[in-house]
Amino acid sequence: MTATSDPRQVSGGCLCGAVRFTVTLPTLFCGHCHCTMCRRSHGAAYVTWLAVVRSQVTIDAGQDQLTRYESSSHGSRSFCSRCGSSLLCVSTRHPDVVDIPLAAMDGPIDRLPEMHVYFGDRASWTVVGDELPRLGGPTGLEPTG
């Protein structure tokens, strides 16, 4: 799929509906993150993120409900202060990119999950049966045995 093949827009939002946003395709990435911060902040085995250029994300409603939490020295996570849904993750390591949970989107995007990242940090009770690449190591993106 080429970068310009799918200029659709896909909307998304939080559980309560206060925060609404629109993502303009194409996305850059979609994958499952097994890092401990994702697991804890979402209360889930792992989080399926999409990544998109920041300028392709528009907050349509609820900007004032978005609360930002500095989850590390280089990253922050924004959530709906009304319902608690985790929504946006940004990092100073790639300031032009926003990560958004695929589960927050109203419909399919332009790709399916392509890999597991931070796979070595996965919960001991997480069993993965798919054939996607499993990346890990300090960056979360290195090949694992």
The verdict on 66 binding Zn ion (CB under 5 A) reads no
With respect to Zn ion, which residue has the nearer C-beta, 7 or 144?
A: 144
Rounded distance between C-alpha atoms, residue 4 and residue 25, angstroms: 8
The verdict on 14 binding Zn ion (CB under 5 A) reads yes
Rounded distance between C-alpha atoms, residue 32 and residue 37, angstroms: 13
Are 75 and 35 in contact by the 8 Å Cβ rule? The answer is no
With respect to Zn ion, which residue has the nearer C-beta, 8 or 69?
A: 69
The verdict on 33 binding Zn ion (CB under 5 A) reads yes
Total residues binding Zn ion (CB under 5 A) = 9
The verdict on 28 binding Zn ion (CB under 5 A) reads no
Interacting span for Zn ion (CB under 5 A) from 70-78, 79-87, 100-108, 130-138: 79-87
With respect to Zn ion, which residue has the nearer C-beta, 35 or 109?
A: 35
**Contact partners, residue 94, CB within 8 Å, separation at least 6:** none
What is the distance in angstroms between the CA of the first residue and the CA of the last residue of the chain? 29
